[in-house]
Structure 1
Amino acid sequence: MSEYSIIYIEVKREIDFYFQMQHIESSFTLQMDGREIVSAQHQFKFQNVHDISHKPFSFGGGILYLHTNQGVFSYNIKENPAYFIEAFKTLKSSFH
Structure 2
Amino acid sequence: MKRLAEQPYVKMEREIGLTGQHYVEENRRLYLYADRIVSRHHVFPIEKVWDMSYRPVSDDGGLLYLHTSEGVHVYTLKESPEHFIEVFRQAIKKQR
TM bin, normalised by shorter chain, reads over 0.9
Any conservation in 1 of the 2:36–2:44 contact (CA below 8 Å)? yes
Q: Secondary structure at the match of 1:57?
A: strand
Q: CA deviation at 1:2?
A: 4.7
Q: CA deviation at 1:34?
A: 1.3
In structure 1, the residue matched to 2:8 is: 7
What are structure 2's unaligned runs of at least 5 residues?
none
Distance in 2 (alpha carbons) for counterparts of 1:15 and 1:66: 30
Q: CA deviation at 1:3?
A: 1.8
In structure 2, the residue matched to 1:34 is: 34
Count of aligned pairs: 95
1:8-27 mapped onto 2 (5 Å cutoff): 8-18=9-19, 20-27=20-27
What are structure 1's unaligned runs of at least 5 residues?
none
Identity value in percent: 35
Q: CA deviation at 1:60?
A: 2.5
Distance in 2 (alpha carbons) for counterparts of 1:56 and 1:34: 26
TM-score for both structures, normalised by structure 2: 0.93
Q: Which has the higher strand share?
A: 2
TM-score for both structures, normalised by structure 1: 0.93
Q: Which amino acid aligns with 2:30?
A: L
In structure 1, the residue matched to 2:62 is: 62
